[in-house]
Amino acid sequence: MFLLAIDWFLIIEKLVLVAFIVTLSMIVAMYATYGERKIAGWMQDRHGPNRAGPFGLLQPLADGGKLFFKEEIIPSVSNKFLFILGPALAMVTALLTSAVIPWGPSLTIGDRLVPVQIADINIGILYVFGVVSLGVYGIMIGGWASNNKFSLLAAIRGASQMVSYELPMGLALIAVLMLSGDLQMSKIVAGQLENGWNIVYQPIGFLIFFVCALAECNRTPFDLAEAENELNMGYHQEYSSMKLGFYLFAEYINMFISGVVMATLYFGGYDIPFVNEASWGIADYWLSIIGFVVLLSKAFFFIFMFMWVRWTVPRFRYDQLMKLGWKSLIPLALVNMLVTAAVILWLKK
Amino acid sequence: MLSVVALFGALMVITSKNPVYSVLWLVVTFFAISGHYILLNAQFLAIVNIIVYAGAIMVLFLFVIMLINLNRESEPNKNRWIRMAGAVAGGCLLLVIVAALKNTEFNTRSAEVVTGDIGLIKNLGKELFTTFVVPFEISSILFLSAMVGAVLMGKKN
């Protein structure tokens, strides 16, 4: 019987956390579409959506409803099973990453210490990296199953771009790992609380990571997978109704999650700069909530950066994209890694 | 359960008519194998298996298969002799594997002795850079030479 003593509290706690974070990602992604259009409007001196509700705030709901009720067309020459699997995979891989992110300082409920993190596995960063590398499948399967030349071309572009940009991303991450000496996300954040944010030590690493995050999310200037003037629409050309919605939605969830990951890795996670919030002497659930809000606001800042870049920089040509990835970013990331290693070795001597 | 998934996936890899399905089943198989690694508490191995095999190599496979667009009409009819030769070659491989495995004992003991943290990244790294440093460096040089060779062949055209 002793073996079967399941910690029910743990299961409930994790379930609540999972439900909360998935819902939160959905809502943030939903309003990121609104934010995107508002920011685009603002940058191009337009109004943006302003008809549905006050300031157009109900626009995402209206869009979602429209997508749900649209007619669903599955092309007769497509591969039905894979056609449905594609957007599902895109959505799942977009949401999976949130599992290892520490969302705030630990809570105390009763006499239990509850970490605000779904799974604090000791390979945290590698997990993020693994899920990102799986994100290619949603695009590739969707593009191939549509049985359309343009979709296939776009899917192949997207896949080769993501595979290429994973390398500098990984090399930039290695430098962060050398600083923190651990792969566990919670320890990386804890290390930054002690020694200051990683951005101070790794400005080049952050730049590389940011560019690669843009590429991994298929955002402009790297949105070659959906270059409408050469590929009609991209890998999701044959999709309609909510399947198309899933692809578009997955992109916004990816943006949110990569914003959170960047905040966690380089900007101290839930840390408030220049302030020791533990000395305020308020209850620790307030600290958790404040930390959570701080992390979210950092993530929103990155989402804003993504949008800013999108409406400022034109799209790359394909050969320019590959040249940037393989001939500039990878050598830069390698040099950054070596210099970091040398400096750490020198300081430790 | 995981073993069932792994075996079923591996069977589907070779029985699927469509090469794209074969690749996808192979990805499923890799996931099942990673699950086994996690059960053995070798988390690093599991995640690297996913990143490298499922995330990179299989994507390239998929890439090539999608580009050459194999289907039943375009595939040339293989004649009987080729099939026979394939069967003989496969049989030989099976024979070699069985012969190699015949004399190994199932040393289940060693699994009990291990404390369970051998697969964690810290121990793995220490082992790689102390006990096994020479094979490790030699294999990395092998990869480097393969990369240089590939680039050279690409440049020729």
Residue of A nearest to B21 (CA): A82
Q: Is the per-residue pLDDT at A1 higher than 50?
A: no
Q: Is the per-residue pLDDT at A247 higher than 80?
A: yes
To the nearest whole Å, the CA of A134 is away from the closest chain B CA by: 5
Residue of B nearest to A166 (CA): B56
Distance CA B31, CA B37 (A): 10
Q: Which of these, B110, B114, B120, lies nearest to B42 by C-alpha position?
A: B120
Closest in A122, A137, A166 to B43, CB measured: A122
Angle, CA A176 vertex, CA A174 and CA A178 arms, to 5°:
70
To the nearest whole Å, the CA of A159 is away from the closest chain B CA by: 8
Q: Is the per-residue pLDDT at A279 higher than 80?
A: no
Which tens digits make up the pLDDT trace of B128-137? 788 888 888 8
Average pLDDT for A136-162: 82
Which chain A residues have a beta carbon less than 8 Å from that of B121? 122-123, 183
Which chain B residues have a beta carbon less than 8 Å from that of A123? 43-44, 47, 121
pTM for the model: 0.83
Which chain B residues have a beta carbon less than 8 Å from that of A82? 20, 24
Q: Is the per-residue pLDDT at A94 higher than 50?
A: yes
State which of A32-36, A165-169, A220-224, B88-92 shows the largest mean pLDDT.
Answer: B88-92
Closest in B51, B54, B66 to A126, CB measured: B51
CB atoms within 10 A of CB B60: 12
Selected residue with higher pLDDT from A229 and A345: A345
Distance CA A78, CA A69 (A): 22
Backbone angles phi, psi at A114, to 5 degrees: -105, 110
Q: In the prediction, which pLDDT does A145 show?
A: 82
Which tens digits make up the pLDDT trace of B74-130? 556 667 788 888 889 999 999 998 888 877 766 555 554 455 565 567 777 777 788
Q: Is the per-residue pLDDT at B145 higher than 90?
A: yes
Q: Which of B63, B117, B144, B151 to mutate to test the interface with A (most CBs of A within 10 A)?
A: B63
Q: With residue A12 as reference, give the H or E element that holds it.
A: helix A8-43
To the nearest whole Å, the CA of A289 is away from the closest chain B CA by: 31
Closest in A121, A129, A155 to B51, CB measured: A129
Q: With residue B44 as reference, give the H or E element that holds it.
A: helix B43-49
**Are residues A133 and B55, on separate chains, in Cβ contact within 8 Å?**
yes
To the nearest whole Å, the CA of A312 is away from the closest chain B CA by: 32
Q: With residue A244 as reference, give the H or E element that holds it.
A: helix A241-266
Q: Which of A120, A126, A171, A184 to mutate to test the interface with B (most CBs of B within 10 A)?
A: A126
Q: Is the per-residue pLDDT at B142 higher than 90?
A: yes
Q: Is the per-residue pLDDT at B141 higher than 90?
A: yes
For chain B, domain boundaries:
1-73, 121-157
Distance CA A98, CA A240 (A): 27
Q: Which of B64, B66, B67, B147 to mutate to test the interface with A (most CBs of A within 10 A)?
A: B66
Q: Which residues of A296-323 are buried (b: 16+ CB within 10 A; e: fewer)?
A: bebbbebbebbbebbeeeebbeeeebee
- Of the listed ranges A23-32, A142-151, A288-297, the least confidently predicted one is A142-151
Residue of A nearest to B51 (CA): A130
Selected residue with higher pLDDT from A288 and A341: A341
Closest in B51, B120, B121 to A133, CB measured: B51
**Are residues B63 and A122, on separate chains, in Cβ contact within 8 Å?**
no
**Are residues B47 and A126, on separate chains, in Cβ contact within 8 Å?**
yes
Q: In the prediction, which pLDDT does B76 show?
A: 60
Q: Which of these, A122, A341, A108, lies nearest to B124 by C-alpha position?
A: A122
Average pLDDT for A144-172: 84
Q: In the prediction, which pLDDT does B8 show?
A: 86
Average pLDDT for B15-37: 85
Q: Is the per-residue pLDDT at A258 higher than 80?
A: yes
Q: Which of B16, B20, B38, B51 to mutate to test the interface with A (most CBs of A within 10 A)?
A: B51
Closest in B27, B43, B63 to A159, CB measured: B63
**Are residues B59 and A141, on separate chains, in Cβ contact within 8 Å?**
no
Please provide the average confidence, as pLDDT, over all residues in chain A. Answer: 82
CATH topology of domain B1-73: Four Helix Bundle (Hemerythrin (Met), subunit A) (1.20.120)
Q: What letter represents residue A69's amino acid?
A: F
> Quick one: what percent of chain A has pLDDT higher than 90?
1
Average pLDDT for A3-25: 78
Chain B residues with CB within 8 Å of chain A CB: 20, 24, 27, 43-44, 47-48, 50-51, 54-56, 59-60, 62-63, 66-67, 120-121
Residue of A nearest to B66 (CA): A144
Distance CA B11, CA B1 (A): 15
Q: In the prediction, which pLDDT does B113 show?
A: 46
Residue of A nearest to B55 (CA): A133
- pLDDT-based confidence at B144, cuts 50/70/90? very high
**Are residues A159 and B121, on separate chains, in Cβ contact within 8 Å?**
no
Average pLDDT for A292-309: 88
Distance CA A307, CA A255 (A): 10
Average pLDDT for B20-33: 87
Residue of B nearest to A183 (CA): B121
- pLDDT-based confidence at A277, cuts 50/70/90? low
Closest in A130, A152, A155 to B50, CB measured: A130
